[in-house]
Structure 1
Amino acid sequence: MVIFGVVQIIFSQIPDLHEVWWLSIVAAVMSFSYSSIGLGLGIGKAVEKHADYGSLKGVGIRDVFHDADKTWSVFQALGNIAFAYSFSMVLIEIQDTIKSPPAENKTMKKATTIGVAVTTLFYLSVGCVGYAAFGDNAPGNLLTGFGFYNPFWLVDIANICIVIHLVGAYQVFSQPLFAFVEEWCSSKWRNSNFINKQYTVKLPGYGPLELTLFRLLWRTCFVIFTTLVSMILPFFNDIMGILGALAFFPLTVYFPIQMYIVQHKVKPWSRKWLILHLLSTVCFIVSLAALVGSVAGVVARLQQNYKPFKTTY
């Protein structure tokens, strides 16, 4: 994880999202690759005679420590599903990088439709095949279930793809935040050389790189902070559920619905107005449940002989 953080410190010095488009493509290819490998291995495991097909109701109450644990797990799963919609945080930033004509919004609408359809297909397929292969003991990360499964090299390739994908994903989600903070600081302190003065650094194989002292310091500190947090709290599914729950409702549901109502001048208390607000309310309840379940998961893990920087899950 330290090595991952060092790599991110280097990539984070790239000025903006426009210049990491190639990294986004690499991340997308890696995501498709390890998902396909996981799907293929899951199908191979599921067709074996000794595969555990699980039970209709999943993990039984008798198999968990407390009756409430299953409820928390279900809520956490909702948060993990909501995390699939985290692309909404960078959708506008990505749209801003698209050339026109055709109109950027039309291209982005088509790309979003195809992207969500493909993602949904993979999520459902991998989820169902993984459960067919491992039953109630299906791991949070499907690939960890194939630790002693031939061919070992294929599992290793899938894990390498995951690491490369996460390198690109970190940048895609961090660059808009970097840009927002730097633009705000630049507008507030226009005469500050520390914030605004640019220095050109020539890098072999990349070309000239424009740097500011503020960008170098702030982005490095951000990466160090997130790396430390991930090392202290290595609870992948639980943390992912929290992030998914926090981002899903406001960015994917509430603000888009409110903008649609204003843009299309939907009349208050009309049927469409009521349906849209009902959808917003239901999604808020789902997000709240996902947040509670994921936080409960983190608390439960902290109580299980947890040691900072040593315990892994």
Structure 2
Amino acid sequence: MAKEMQKGNLYIDQDVETSYQNGDVNKNFDDDGRDKRTGTWITASAHIITAVIGSGVLSLAWAIAQLGWVAGPAVLMAFSLITYFTSSLLADCYRSPDPVTGKRNYTYMDAVRANLGGRKVQLCGLAQYGNLIGVTVGYTITASISMVAVKRSNCFHKHGHEAKCNISNNPFMILFACIQIILSQIPNFHKLSWLSILAAVMSFAYSSIGLGLSIAKIAGGVHAKTTLTGTTVGVDVTASEKIWKTFQAIGDIAFAYAYSTVLIEIQDTVKSSPPENKSMKRATAVGVSTTTLFYVLCGCLGYLAFGNDAPGNFLTGFGFYEPFWLIDFANICIAVHLVGAYQVFSQPLFGFVEKKCHKRWPESKFITSEHGIKIPFYGVYDVNLFRLVWRTLYVMLTAVVAMIFPFFNDFVGLIGAASFWPLTVYFPVEMYIARAKIQKCSSTWIWLKILCWACLLVSLVALAGSVQGLAKSLQKYKPFQTPE
């Protein structure tokens, strides 16, 4: 029996009945006529941790190695403070014009439309959804590398650390894509809480294992070479390599804090009491502080353990060999975490496309109708044919792109550099200036503009480094070897 998609999709506008206009709000619905939101700052924190502590944490030891003891931790803390500050500004944009009682903005684009308007809405959409596509491709790469690392770890354990255990990533990308095809049928963000909590637990698990192994390596008495300025020109790298890798390291750190892209969508899952912006700011504080603690520990202890020779991914690089079973478990945790993280970043894109298609072809049964299917031990599951076809094609496309560009460090740096400035800094600051009606050339306005321009400069140099690294990796790429 078919029913209209409007009843099941978080991102489709719904008509608000007369009872809402009269203030008689049903206990099962919110003030906008949609199903009552049940999320809290705890579930929002889980979504944030799932989105933030991802593949980025694995490259931080390498990033610190390029920057050294002075610039490395300083850049980490700077990105942390900037992300927290701008995310707090963005949390106030969920409702407009008032952050507590105003009209809800269901997506990042809706918030930009309500506060800025004009061509900036299209620019935001291009940056946001381009970033989401890039992140899902990056997570497909990282998940496959972690799956391959399990086989490589067992191979090294069996045949010795000098064995050539080269394994193709492609079969594992296909496996990851098959899992995502199934999970992508989860209708919206409201149904993702259990997956985000599981993924957050996994992220803590593998980060803790990485920390523990780094501490054990340090305690073992093997002192790796570290310096205040990182890799040494003429010894570890050439002068040009030092510049490019420094730029790329900044991009990797920027990627490690990338979650502003989905902040509004996460906030739309939070119940309205206490006010959503208050809950989201609390979740942001918990999420950013927790991830920063892990980042500093993983980056600094990883650098201390491996020195200037730190691998691009210290759990799959191959930084650790023994105990092989613990390395296997850590990489399984990474893969499970990225299964959830992929969904956190893909759901806003799914919703955007489905909303546009629903508005464009409202009479199409293929797009709007859902069909109930009885599933044993679950009950009735509503299948929408358009959702099934389009989401499956999207997952397949990201897997194909990941097979073409399977370069972990270069890819995460490229995504981080391209998305950090517009989504984490520019739009939140511009919306704050517009909302607060800050006078042009006032001291507050000047400082906010300095922040914007400084972050733009950092993003541009990081982008240049990542593009150069990606081009260099493509030249050296051999299809049946595992890129780091």
Post-superposition offset of 1:308: 4.1
Number of positions where the alignment pairs a residue of Structure 1 with one of Structure 2? 311
Name the structure 2 match of 1:142: 314
Q: Confirm or deny: 8 A CA contact 1:14 1:209 kept in the other structure.
A: no
TM-score, normalised to structure 1, is: 0.95
Deviation at 1:205, TM superposition (A): 3.7
Structure 1 position 310, deviation (Å): 5.1
- Write out aligned runs for 1:291-306 (5 A): 291-304=463-476, 306=477
1:83–1:241: 8 Å Cα contact kept in structure 2? yes
Residue type at the aligned position of 2:483: T
Structure richer in helix, relative to its length: 1
CA-to-aligned-CA distance 1:113-164 (integer Å, 9 cap, x gap):
1110111111011100001000011112122344322x22222111111000
Alignment partner of 1:251 is 2:423:
yes
1:1-313 aligned within 5 A = 1-63=173-235, 66-144=238-316, 145-149=318-322, 151-304=323-476, 306-308=477-479, 312-313=483-484
The Cα shift of 1:21 comes to 1.2
Structure 2 unaligned blocks of 5 or more: 1-172
C-alpha separation in 2, matches of 1:146 and 1:312? 14
Larger CA deviation: 203-212 vs 4-13: 203-212
**What per-residue deviation string (whole Å, max 9, x for no partner) do you get for residues 209-233 of structure 1?**
2222211111111101111111221
Q: Structure 1 residues 205, 163: CA separation in 2 closer, same or farther (over 3 Å shift)?
A: farther
- Write out per-residue CA displacement over residues 63-85 of structure 1, whole angstroms, 9 at most, x where no aligned residue: 46653221111111111111123
Structure 1, residues 229-286: CA drift from partner, whole Å, max 9, x if none?
1122111111111111122111110000011101111100000000001100111111
> What CA RMSD, in Å, does the superposition of the two structures yield over aligned residues?
1.5
Instruction: Report the secondary structure of 1:307's partner residue.
Output: coil
**SS of the residue 1:59 aligns to:** coil
How high is the sequence identity, in percent, across the aligned residues?
55
SS at match of 2:234: helix
What is the rounded CA distance, in whole Å, between the counterparts of 1:42 and 1:236 in structure 2? Answer: 21
What secondary structure sits across from 2:220 in the alignment?
A: coil
Cα gap change, 1:68 to 1:203, in 2 (>3 Å): farther
Moved more, 45-54 or 71-80: 45-54
Within 2, Cα distance between the matches of 1:140 and 1:239?
Answer: 12
Q: Which amino acid aligns with 2:326?
A: L
Please give the alpha-carbon distance, in whole angstroms, between the structure 1 residues aligned to 2:377 and 2:250.
44
Deviation at 1:311, TM superposition (A): 5.2
